[in-house]
Amino acid sequence: MNTLTAAELKTKIDTNSENLFLLDVREPHEFEHCHISGSILIPMQTIPQRLADIPKDKTVISICHHGMRSLQVAQFLLGQGFNNIINLSGGVNAWAQEVDSTMPRY
């Protein structure tokens, strides 16, 4: 399983954002509180029903609060035939600490 730090993700977004799909797997109330700009919310429990909404031709970055739910989703997606899946280590919490100090934390 590939992982990225928040700083590495920032670099990827800055240099190659059109080939990335930022998949936020948290709950809607968490996403409303804070999220990485450009990310798409598909809550973890809905992933099996929404596989068609996740592109196979882009690098999918799986994101949650601390990186555990997103890791589970990333592993699930690999089992469903997705090839380019990367988990954001530390989740949006790490993003708020390392990249965007103005992002609300919880």
Positions annotated as catalytic residues are 64
Chain mean position to CA 56? 15
**Cα dihedral: 41, 74, 19, 88 (round 10):** 80
Pairwise CA distance, residues 71 & 63, whole Å: 8
DSSP strands (E only) in the chain: 2-4, 20-24, 40-41, 59-63, 85-88
